[in-house]
Amino acid sequence: MDNATLIQRDLAAVWHPCTQMKDHEWLPLIPIRRGEGVWLEDFDGKRYLDAISSWWVNLFGHGNPRINAALRTQLDQLEQVFLAGFTHEPVIELSERLLRLAPPGLARCFYADNGSSAVEVALKMSYHAWHNQGAADKTKFITLSNSYHGETLGALAVGDVALYKETYQPLLMQAITVPSPDCYQREPGSSWAEHSARLFEPMKTTLARHAHEVCAVIVEPLVQCAGGMRMYDPVYLQLLRAACDDYGVHLIADEIAVGFGRTGTLFACEQAHVTPDYLCLAKGLTGGYLPLSVVLTRENIYQAFYDEYASQRAFLHSHSYTGNPLGCRAALATLDIFASDNILERNKTLAKAMARATEQFIDHPHVAEVRQTGMILAVEMVQDKATRTPYPWQDRRGLRVYQQALQQGVLLRPLGNVIYFMPPYVITADEIDLMVQAAATSIDHATLN
């Protein structure tokens, strides 16, 4: 089997996600035969360094021997059982361990099978908890501009990336959107902390005005990933936690992309020393192996549903694969690696290597900013450095970077004009250099004219 044959068969039968399929008349699909560590290999034997961890899911490399072994053992015991009225060891052990690792005060785990569904669970659970407590007026959600929480209608409604949302606007509930603390927007001379704290003012005003009708505020802690890896200071989360408490509004932390060490700590909320009312996790939860997600919440919220059946207070939400045993086993193997290999400490060295390797972009005539939070590093390409005028989206400069980097054996997938690195944690210093050099020549090429 070779690339060409598979591409032909694929394009006759498959409809790909997040893709204008007509692009594939000139943009080759890449059929992948195998993966090992940070490398993906196609059917013609060409290798690609997976600098984006396959959409931010992979933590410890493709074909990780320890996760593979855990899955093989689990496969021989139990592949799936539904979780209503039944249970299994992996889901119990995973829940216990997540609750031990998560910020203090989270006491219950509710599972789903992808990130968007976890967000749906958190939104419904927040509304329903208030409803069960007699606060029937609370029906709305506050979100940040430029946020992203998934593609299902509820998750899309609380997101704010026009590219994904605009078309579906008539189908969506109306969220209350307040300006993001995004530090790319800060005044020259202003620190991340100053800017983020100042941008809390509109959130405070909005909470003061709307708290009576608001169930929850939903945020991506520290990094708005799909919105172009825009970053902000932990102080914003501290202020937000305090204000949510003051105004009687839940806080939903969507750590689907930033959880599991991406920002430098196991969970991003730790950097602000806050505990959300709902912590949404997916992606890296299984080390990037299987679709699984979970919402961690507090005991008082669990108790708001706990009653006689006839009271009709139960949370009757389910997905067929809720808490799938294989997914839970992959997640346990992933947590084992965090524990035994001192990953968060080792990532500090990798993050420094990424910072060093990308210093060269700071003075690039078409780079407005190089920013980093832990193992996420982003380079903002612009048409005009002085005025920070972006390239028109129609130019598809990011796509040019993607194509150029692929030729050099590196998989980058820019978000518009933002090139970013979010590699698996098993990347080596040499591989970081290779990844960044490919980005450098690709950015030069994409900004030539």
Minimum separation from the CB atom of position 57 to ligand PMP (A): 8
Total chain residues near ligand PMP (CB under 6 A): 14
Closest CA to 260 of 234, 291, 281, 279: 281
Closest CA to 355 of 432, 408, 423, 426: 432
In angstroms, the CA 428 to CA 62 distance is 14
Q: Which span (83-91, 208-216, 218-226, 270-278) binds ligand PMP, by CB under 6 A?
A: 218-226
In angstroms, the CA 158 to CA 224 distance is 13
In angstroms, the CA 5 to CA 43 distance is 10
- Closest residue to ligand PMP using C-beta atoms: 115
In angstroms, the CA 259 to CA 222 distance is 10
226 or 249, CB closer to ligand PMP? Answer: 226
Neighbours of 314 (CB within 10 A): 13
Please check whether residue 353 is in contact with residue 429, taking contact to mean a CB–CB distance below 8 angstroms. yes
Choose which of 38, 109, 225, 252 interacts with ligand PMP (CB under 6 A).
Answer: 225
Minimum separation from the CB atom of position 143 to ligand PMP (A): 12
Between β-strands 278-281 and 250-254, what pairing exists: parallel, antiparallel or unpaired?
parallel
- Tokens read off for 33: 């035969």
Closest CA to 334 of 372, 277, 295, 292: 292
Kindly identify the residues of this chain, within the stretch 39-98, that bind ligand PMP according to CB under 6 A.
none
Minimum separation from the CB atom of position 258 to ligand PMP (A): 7
Kindly identify the residues of this chain, within the stretch 96-135, that bind ligand PMP according to CB under 6 A.
114-116, 119
Radius of gyration of the chain (CA): 22
Minimum separation from the CB atom of position 175 to ligand PMP (A): 14
Between β-strands 140-144 and 214-219, what pairing exists: parallel, antiparallel or unpaired?
parallel
Minimum separation from the CB atom of position 260 to ligand PMP (A): 13
Minimum separation from the CB atom of position 115 to ligand PMP (A): 2
98 or 357, CB closer to ligand PMP? Answer: 98
Minimum separation from the CB atom of position 35 to ligand PMP (A): 19
Residues 174-213 as x/- pattern, contact with ligand PMP by CB under 6 A: ----------------------------------------
Decide: is 226 part of the binding site for ligand PMP (CB under 6 A): yes
- Tokens read off for 27: 């943009």
Kindly identify the residues of this chain, within the stretch 248-277, that bind ligand PMP according to CB under 6 A.
254, 256-257
235 or 290, CB closer to ligand PMP? Answer: 290
SS3 state of residue 37: strand
225 or 351, CB closer to ligand PMP? Answer: 225
In angstroms, the CA 377 to CA 349 distance is 14
3 or 58, CB closer to ligand PMP? Answer: 58
Q: Name the residue type at position 425.
A: Y
Minimum separation from the CB atom of position 220 to ligand PMP (A): 5
| Measured distance between the N- and C-terminal CA atoms of the chain, rounded to whole angstroms | 39
In angstroms, the CA 227 to CA 315 distance is 31
Query: What is the number of residues in the chain?
Result: 449
220 or 233, CB closer to ligand PMP? Answer: 220
Choose which of 148, 184, 260, 402 interacts with ligand PMP (CB under 6 A).
Answer: 148
Choose which of 150, 154, 323, 325 interacts with ligand PMP (CB under 6 A).
Answer: 150
Q: Enumerate binding residues for ligand PMP (CB under 6 A).
A: 114-116, 119, 148-150, 220, 225-226, 254, 256-257, 282
